[in-house]
Amino acid sequence: MLLANNIFRVFVIETSEDLKTRNLLSLCNYTGYILLIVVVALVSVLLMRRANMRRSRKYDRYVFGLLIVNVLFSAAAIILSAEFTNLLICLPVTIVCMVIVIILNIKARKVIGKSKKAMRQGDDIYE
């Protein structure tokens, strides 16, 4: 979604001739960045709630560390995209951040995703 929004911005800047249309599309573009960070925030809070269901302390640092870094990199990627108009500057950083976030999400999902099954099996004893 972030990549799509960035490409949409290029379209807004380069192709739109009419000023009113351009301003409207630009508003949509920046609203898109805000919506993206809101989505990231909601997902992070949901993951946090999910992680809180698990009582195992040994996962605390790992899971919440993943979530915190996930939010930080997501916000960095979105803010950089919104701040810099030049894609050559912000795109590589954005892509790096996004790759890190995706990797972290997959890891977090693996850890948190086990929790329901583990809970059912009774191995989520709080130590």
Which residues of the shown chain bind other proteins in the complex (CB under 8 A)?
19, 22-23, 26-27, 29-31, 33-34, 36-38, 40-41, 44-45, 48, 52-53, 55, 57, 60-61, 64, 67-68, 71-72, 74-75, 78-79, 82-83, 85, 126
Give the nearest distance from C-beta 31 to other proteins in angstroms: 7
Give the nearest distance from C-beta 126 to other proteins in angstroms: 6
Provide the phi-psi class of 20: left if phi over 0, else alpha when psi is between -120 and 50, else beta.
alpha
Rounded Cα–Cα distance for residues 4 and 120 (Å):
40
103: amino acid identity, one letter: I
Nearer to other proteins, 55 or 114 (CB): 55
Q: Which of 78, 81, 76 is nearest to 91 (CA)?
A: 81
Nearer to other proteins, 48 or 118 (CB): 48
Residue 98's Cα: distance from chain center in Å? Answer: 8
Nearer to other proteins, 21 or 113 (CB): 21
Give the nearest distance from C-beta 65 to other proteins in angstroms: 8
Asked if 90 and 6 touch (Cβ cutoff 8 Å), the reply is yes
109: amino acid identity, one letter: R
Give the nearest distance from C-beta 44 to other proteins in angstroms: 5
